[in-house]
Structure 1
Amino acid sequence: MAWSLLVDVLGLPRDRLYATYFEGDEAAGLEPDNEARERWLKYLPESHVLPGNAKDNFWEMGDTGPCGPCSELHFDRIGGREAASLVNQDDPDVLEVWNLVFIQYNREEKGGSLKLLPSKHVDTGMGLERLVSVLQDKRSNYDTDCFMPIFEKIREVTGVREYTGKVGKEDVDGVDTAYRVVADHARTIAIACADGAQPSNDGRGYVLRRVLRRGVRYARQQLGGKKGFFAQIVKKVIDMMSGFFKELADKEEIILDIVESEEAQFLRTIDRGIKKFEKAISDLAGNGGVVLSGEVMFQLYDTYGFPVDLTTLMAEERNISVDTEGYKKRMLEAKELSKQAGESATGAKTLKMEAEQTEFLAGEGVEPTDDSFKYNWIPSKRSGDDVSATIKAIWTGSEFAKTAGEGQFVGIVVDKTNFYAEQGGQIFDTGSISSPDGDFHVENVQRFGRYVMHIGTVSDGEVRVDEEVTLSVDCDRRADVAKNHTGTHIMNFGLRKVLGDHCDQKGSIVLPDKLRFDFANNSPVKPAEIAEVQSIVQKVVQQKLPVYAETLSLETAREIYGLRAVFGEAYPDPVRVLSVGVPPEKMVENLKNEEWAGYSVEFCGGTHLHNSGEAEEFVIVSEEGIAKGIRRIVALTGEKARDAIELAESLEEHLRNGEREAEKVPMDVGAMSKTIANINKKVDEAVIPLPTKEAFRARIAKMRDIMGKEHKKNVQAAKGKAKEYTEQIVEELSKEDNLKFIVKELPAFFSADPKLVNDVSEKLKSALTVPCVLVSLDEVSDKLLFLATVPDELAKTKGAAKDWMAEALTLCDGKGGGKPNRAQGIGKNPAQMAAAVASLKSFAEKNYC
């Protein structure tokens, strides 16, 4: 098919095509792919059919998973020459245009052996843009009509000079590079978002965010792009490609919303970040330095949203190196702080104001903080409006100050805020406060009395009391928190529905990466009940029900049938009521309607989703007891939940492989035992949906049962063989003249039951009164078993049994012990069996002969 399309349909000259095949890998036990070679020789001369090593011609999707040899087709753009020596040499004029991957193996562990797949297939990889460049006779993909219309749009919007195709040092002003980056990244963003991906702060979402921000930075600095520019280029991509990719047109509004929001969010900080970068570079030059510190790189990431690869690129453009290790260290420190905060929602670095300080502020005429703006945001767009405010106080932890400079850790009180202060189990918001002369990184937000204090570090310049500032919440992080908070409410509803009204909430913590919920229940929640609760929540998410938040009088709200509230909690009056599916105002019309018990309705002042579908996904990953009558559930939403589901799907393949191995006749019990142990370890350590984990454990137990039955059969068979073997060697050794000692490696069937080794030892001891050591390989545990016996007199005068084994055990990383006349040991490294046996013989020859 590949040959037919390229040559017969597209008309590529066959004399400019070269095929490669896998040459084999002796170390990996892989034969050359001569079948592929022979097939290509039907179409190409021998000089155009080339062997390739594992690097070029053995395809793997990663450290583990399906893989196999591959065969590539390369095209010589120039022609009229022999270009075999240029294949796979990164020559721009001899390029791969097709790859046929023969998926026939599976690698279960990194660096592990390959296992044949039960079914095999051919996977085709074709470079569309490369092929277009060949057909249009262009030396670069960017010169084809895949990109030129996008370049024309860039020029139209910005008025920048025409694209000239320059690269490297020839692209003096960097404009051609910017053309390519913006066009390429706009295509990536459009397709990824059409497939359902969204920029975020972790996983694949962060890769997408890095791509988008890199594109925005090039557009801003090299092309002079204004706000909305990148979205216009993405729109051009949609117009160009939607005829082939229908989902681009179907999801155009969603894609453009995401891009506009992300672009606007980064543009709020990019100029200040570039200013920070330029200052750091200037300081370096002044000090004769050539390495950008990890601390500056971290600040650019943490405060201004600069991905580390973007900072690295900017530094390289200035011939400056970067302290990657310093950055990683600083990131680890930040993650540790975040982890501590995750263990307890109040675990982050903080400052406190006591009644004395809040009374002082009131006495100074400082009005209570208006934090109603925290609800003005759009979860689906992961964005919200900034708020302009005035700094009313700066608290150092010991006194109120008028100013705070770079590096100072302080608390800032403003007249109004869009930040959520930690409360009701929901973690605080993070973000930034910017003034004309400084930037403040908000790391924690707490409420003290009627004041909201933003706690963090002055990252640049200084901030002052009475100064006008702009407050920007990290809405990306808040959106993840909101998914988990709304998910908590729906799960609370699901628990009540499955377990009954007794399961009152006893506590909860809502974080960006997970939710934790404590509730009353006298016994562990059964796996089937967990699965039912999870299913209820998933159904509500799939129904995409509106999430309502309305303020009602406390007296009225308490009368809503089925309303959930935390026992003993003091609620304000009026109180905020949050419901999923039906608005509280409708419930008020008929407070005692039992229908309301079919919906999630609670008191809550947190920041939530606007629609249950925005949670995207929900899974329960653990359930445990934390005190008498108190259970705890941990669950995930959004991308974290999808990651858990995908991990479970990948483990499913390991389970199936194990089950296929368990069905083999005869079974290799040793190999099966290792397989089960490996699968069990993976399942135990995996963060996956709990119902799935329980199902996996049941299947593992079934495999163990099958293996156990097979093992019993092997033991019975081995007993008979062991009896015959023992009688045979006793007879043989009895005939030997001058027998001084016995060192014997036992056959593999002895590994079926260690007791068999003891039996043969006892019979040899009674029949032949000489020192004897037996060595057996236990194929189930993959360990060496040693059993030594020495007559009492020899043990006292020539060498005890444990001394005889000492060096051998050391050689095979083992341990042992026992009495002078009898000792046993276990070696962990069976590869040293021969060396261990040689050591045993050497000791015996020196001491017992």
Structure 2
Amino acid sequence: SNEGRGYVLRRIMRRAMRHAYMLGVKEPMMYKLLPALQKEMGEAYPELYSAETLITETIRSEEERFLKTLDKGLRLLDDEAGHLKAGDTFNGETAFKLYDTYGFPLDLTQDALRLKDIKVDTDGFDKAMERQKAEARKNWDGSGDAGTEKIWFELNEKLPATEFWGYNTLKTEAQVTALVQDGKEVSEVSNGEFFLLTNQTPFYGEMGGQVGDKGKITGKDLEIEVTDTKKKLDGLYVHIAKIVKGHIKNGDMVLMEVCESNRKAIEANHTVTHLLHHALQEKFGASVTQKGSMVAAERMRFDIAYPKQISENELRDLEDTVNSLIRQNLKVNTKLMSHDEAINSGAMALFGEKYGDEVRVVCVGDGVSTELCGGTHVKETGDIGYFNIVSESAVAAGVRRLECVTGTHAERFVQDIEDKLHRVGACLKSSFNDIEARVNQLLEEKKKLEAQVFELKKKLVSNKAADNPDNFEAVNGVKFVAKILENIPAKELKAFVDEIKAQYPEDTIVALLASNEGKASVVIGVSDNLAAKYPANSLIKVIAPFVGAQGGGGRPDMAQTGGPDATRMQEAIDALRKAI
């Protein structure tokens, strides 16, 4: 991970990787040391065996990523420190840029420069770091309800924790204990948005990845819309509210009512996270652990520790497993027990989560899933209806994200796909079942047509050069061909140059410049008998400044460059002619 102990471990590993790199090891190798580690420490840490595949793939993936960073970072470091000599000090701002932009830690910069007896301005680095943090704090202070955070500490001192009744009921009477508007505690609210606290509530406050409940609060000549519910500090349930009708005072008795359809959709998505967790561990092993989740009414998001992309076939297998558990209509039970008792019974606890002495354990079926969880859930898995994985992606190193839908939202997702396929079929004048074959046929035709167009373009460019003597200039005894072309992709220019060189294999220099959406692409070709005297990779540097390029690359017989400015291409040709 990028925080806590995971971050520390990554830094230690990267120092070892850098030392290996400096010893000449340019390929991943640390992952190959796992057998030696298993031999030395496997008895004390059996996970080294049970999670062998995950550990190996995670280390190798980290090595591959860091070697790219290291190579780029060391080149930048060499560029920035090239003018320094022993005893000099490396700029702290630049060291921070290496860290912030390229992921090159300060200690690696120090290690690399220590070999040259060059120090790093750590004060400058720290100041740059503090400026960035201050800017982040400034941006945070101006967003969300950050400005009202102080009030929750004050209310937490004088109010008891809110009693939560939402596991057993969606409706209850309660007494208002505090009202907060515009960052201040007030005695009465008659309009606008505000925060409302009560002595008890059926509204679930956002925590553990599950979003807060929505609903309404009513009273005599009073109607309030609750758009969200948060849990603050040691148990204050804060209802984010808006006056619809009437006014409310601190101390009023009100009727709290959770939106049932919204809660049921959330419960379905929360229970499905437990089923998905079970399916993932069943397929990939117990080392696949939850790294985070977001459970809302419309969809759920589930992050897991896994080092590589999950294939389409694997995703279908996961869907099948979860939907099978849904169809079995398994009972979902909850129990309260001590933390130790829960762990000893085999309940799964999420690493990094804080648990009290007494915990709530959610059990699905007979041993299918047993997890410590404070969220709300369906009574039976059949209540979920249907499950579908919408997407799978990477969110961080070694962390994959699954986004999923359930129930009517899953049905709508599938219906939407079917509707799109029918519309595509209509556009292609093809039946639903023949869409894939028709698309493949069109792609093949497109590929053939593109090849034909490419050949025609080549002939057009080369024929223009051959048929019109004005296309050739005699410059210092050389046949010089220079063309400005419109809307020719950069990757095609080289083939065009080859075509002209093939027709005129001696004493020829060809320069083709193409403009695409205001950007310039340039390719220069030189006959083999002139390559030593007029190397293309030198001539290209004459043109580069005119198109906004830093330089160019290639060989004596062929070189290319590109830049953001296509307005000075004629000037570039004139400069090239002069250079020849």
What's the TM-score, normalizing by structure 2?
0.52
Q: Determine the C-alpha separation between the residues in 1 that align with 2:289 and 2:563.
A: 54
Equivalent residues in 2 for 1:359-378, closer than 5 Å = 359-362=157-160, 369-376=162-169
Q: Which residue pairs with 2:201 in the alignment?
A: 417
Question: Displacement, 1:494?
Answer: 0.8
Q: Determine the C-alpha separation between the residues in 2 that align with 1:605 and 1:646.
A: 33
Q: Deviations over 1:211-250 (max 9, x none)?
A: xxxxxxxxxxxxxxxxxxxxxxxxxxxxxxxxxxxxxxxx
Q: Which residue pairs with 1:431 in the alignment?
A: 215
Match 2:441 to one of 660, 663, 675: 660
Q: Determine the C-alpha separation between the residues in 2 that align with 1:426 and 1:801.
A: 59
Report percent identity of matched pairs.
Answer: 24
Q: Determine the C-alpha separation between the residues in 2 that align with 1:423 and 1:361.
A: 20
Question: Displacement, 1:560?
Answer: 7.9
Report how many residues are paired. Answer: 404
Q: Which residue pairs with 1:492 in the alignment?
A: 277
SS at match of 1:432: strand
Q: Determine the C-alpha separation between the residues in 2 that align with 1:570 and 1:806.
A: 60
- Give the counterpart letter for 2:391 in structure 1: V
Equivalent residues in 2 for 1:642-791, closer than 5 Å = 642=411, 644-645=413-414, 650=420, 656-664=437-445, 667-669=448-450, 729=467, 754-758=494-498, 760=500
Q: Deviations over 1:573-626 (max 9, x none)?
A: 65433233x3xxxxxxxxxxxxx44x1232323222233344333215124263
Are residue 619 (structure 1) and residue 400 (structure 2) matched?
no
- Give the counterpart letter for 2:156 in structure 1: T
Match 1:551 to one of 330, 335, 338: 335
Question: Displacement, 1:758?
Answer: 4.8
Q: Which residue pairs with 1:403 in the alignment?
A: 188
- Give the counterpart letter for 1:757 in structure 2: V
Question: Displacement, 1:420?
Answer: 0.6
Does the 8 Å CA contact 1:551/1:574 hold for their aligned counterparts? no
Q: Which residue pairs with 2:289 in the alignment?
A: 504
- CA distance 1:440–1:774, change in 2 (3 Å): same
Question: Displacement, 1:730?
Answer: 8.2
Does the 8 Å CA contact 1:579/1:601 hold for their aligned counterparts? yes
Q: Determine the C-alpha separation between the residues in 2 that align with 1:744 and 1:399.
A: 72
- CA distance 1:536–1:398, change in 2 (3 Å): same
Q: Which residue pairs with 2:264 in the alignment?
A: 479
- Give the counterpart letter for 1:621 in structure 2: S
Question: Displacement, 1:641?
Answer: 3.8
Q: Determine the C-alpha separation between the residues in 1 that align with 2:446 and 2:247.
A: 75
Are residue 633 (structure 1) and residue 402 (structure 2) matched?
yes
Q: Determine the C-alpha separation between the residues in 1 that align with 2:159 and 2:232.
A: 14
- Give the counterpart letter for 2:333 in structure 1: A
User: Radius of gyration: which is bigger?
Assistant: 1
Q: Determine the C-alpha separation between the residues in 1 that align with 2:184 and 2:493.
A: 75
SS at match of 2:261: helix
Q: Determine the C-alpha separation between the residues in 1 that align with 2:268 and 2:214.
A: 16
- The structure, 1 or 2, with the larger RCO (C-alpha pairs under 8 Å, 6+ apart) is 2
Question: Displacement, 1:428?
Answer: 1.2
Equivalent residues in 2 for 1:102-141, closer than 5 Å = none
Q: Which residue pairs with 1:299 in the alignment?
A: none
Match 1:389 to one of 174, 188, 199: 174
- CA distance 1:802–1:789, change in 2 (3 Å): farther
- CA distance 1:732–1:518, change in 2 (3 Å): closer
What's the TM-score, normalizing by structure 1?
0.38
Q: Determine the C-alpha separation between the residues in 1 that align with 2:358 and 2:491.
A: 74
SS at match of 2:163: coil
- CA distance 1:763–1:422, change in 2 (3 Å): same
Does the 8 Å CA contact 1:751/1:776 hold for their aligned counterparts? no
- Give the counterpart letter for 2:389 in structure 1: V
Q: Determine the C-alpha separation between the residues in 1 that align with 2:361 and 2:282.
A: 20
Match 1:564 to one of 341, 348, 352: 348
Q: Determine the C-alpha separation between the residues in 1 that align with 2:490 and 2:374.
A: 68
Q: Which residue pairs with 1:449 in the alignment?
A: 234
Does the 8 Å CA contact 1:718/1:750 hold for their aligned counterparts? no
Question: Gaps spanning 5+ residues in structure 1: where?
Answer: 1-345, 363-367, 378-385, 583-595, 673-710, 791-799
Does the 8 Å CA contact 1:430/1:445 hold for their aligned counterparts? no
Question: Displacement, 1:500?
Answer: 1.9
Q: Determine the C-alpha separation between the residues in 2 that align with 1:528 and 1:431.
A: 40
- Give the counterpart letter for 1:419 in structure 2: F
Question: Displacement, 1:763?
Answer: 6.5
Does the 8 Å CA contact 1:757/1:776 hold for their aligned counterparts? no
- CA distance 1:639–1:806, change in 2 (3 Å): farther
Question: Displacement, 1:490?
Answer: 0.8
Question: Gaps spanning 5+ residues in structure 2: where?
Answer: 1-142, 426-434, 527-538
- CA distance 1:565–1:723, change in 2 (3 Å): closer
Does the 8 Å CA contact 1:750/1:757 hold for their aligned counterparts? no
Q: Determine the C-alpha separation between the residues in 2 that align with 1:626 and 1:418.
A: 36
Question: Displacement, 1:753?
Answer: 6.5
Q: Determine the C-alpha separation between the residues in 1 that align with 2:343 and 2:512.
A: 80
- CA distance 1:565–1:358, change in 2 (3 Å): same
Q: Determine the C-alpha separation between the residues in 1 that align with 2:178 and 2:293.
A: 32
Question: Displacement, 1:495?
Answer: 1.4
RMSD: 5.9
Does the 8 Å CA contact 2:493/2:512 hold for their aligned counterparts? no
Are residue 602 (structure 1) and residue 384 (structure 2) matched?
no
- Give the counterpart letter for 1:610 in structure 2: K
SS at match of 2:247: strand
Are residue 357 (structure 1) and residue 142 (structure 2) matched?
no
Q: Which residue pairs with 1:469 in the alignment?
A: 254
SS at match of 1:667: helix
Question: Displacement, 1:373?
Answer: 3.9
SS at match of 1:668: helix
Q: Determine the C-alpha separation between the residues in 2 that align with 1:648 and 1:532.
A: 20
Q: Determine the C-alpha separation between the residues in 1 that align with 2:269 and 2:499.
A: 61
- CA distance 1:776–1:522, change in 2 (3 Å): closer
Question: Displacement, 1:640?
Answer: 4.5
- CA distance 1:612–1:448, change in 2 (3 Å): same
- Give the counterpart letter for 1:369 in structure 2: T
